[in-house]
Amino acid sequence: SQKIEQNSEALNIQEGKTATLTCNYTNYSPAYLQWYRQDPGRGPVFLLLIRENEKEKRKERLKVTFDTTLKQSLFHITASQPADSATYLCVGAGSYQLTFGKGTKLSVIP
Amino acid sequence: NAGVMQNPRHLVRRRGQEARLRCSPMKGHSHVYWYRQLPEEGLKFMVYLQKENIIDESGMPKERFSAEFPKEGPSILRIQQVVRGDSAAYFCASSPGPGSQETQYFGPGTRLLVL
């Protein structure tokens, strides 16, 4: 079955550094990947979308890459801040059925 | 522009009772999706609805679960005769057009606890 795997359950990083989160997909080829942020007790909030024919997408301090050869997406937060602490979800899409990874919990330490 | 609304935010039921979860999509959105998040798991697709139509319910358990999106009013996810394994967070999302083309926007979720 199609899978989205986020290798790290948790990632701790010092404030000001770049956080890099990894997402791999298996058994299918999503037309696009999305990244969402989820805070405790809240619903996922959409951050970025990248299509399979795009190599890289940026939005403010966020950058996403999509490598169809490696079947991987990397999500970067530059100049990380404590307010960036949350769980980040990688989501495969191509139909209306989104396929979610379990998420990586990012903690930015002051 | 209000986002996706879900109520109640928390729901406690005893085994065998019924649970009704409501979702009001964003204004202008006519496509609604329900997802379930079990503890320590990722969100899993349950059902996709448009007004008065179920488009895809392949992710929904065959028994005890049903969903509707009437012409007027919110979408309802109904769980009959709840069991402990139904305890989870249920999220509703909406989009203006088909979810294959549009980003889905999520509500805050309903956390169901079955005692």
pLDDT tens, position by position, B19-58: 999 999 999 899 999 999 998 888 999 999 999 899 999 9
Interface of A with B (CB under 8 A): 4, 31, 34, 36, 41-46, 49, 89, 93-103
Report the DSSP beta bridge partners of residue A67.
A72
What separation in angstroms does the CA of B30 have from each of B3, B66, B90, B94, B96?
13, 19, 19, 7, 6
CA distance B19 to chain A (A): 19
Across the interface, whether the CB atoms of A98 and B45 are under 8 A apart is answered yes
Report how far residue A101's alpha carbon sits from residue A96's, in angstroms, rounded to the nearest whole number.
Answer: 16
Output the tens digit of pLDDT for each of chain A's 110 residues: 778 999 888 999 999 999 999 999 988 888 889 999 999 989 999 999 999 889 899 999 999 999 999 999 999 999 999 999 999 999 998 777 888 999 999 999 99
Q: In the prediction, which pLDDT does B101 show?
A: 62
Q: Is B39 on the interface with A (CB under 8 A)?
A: no
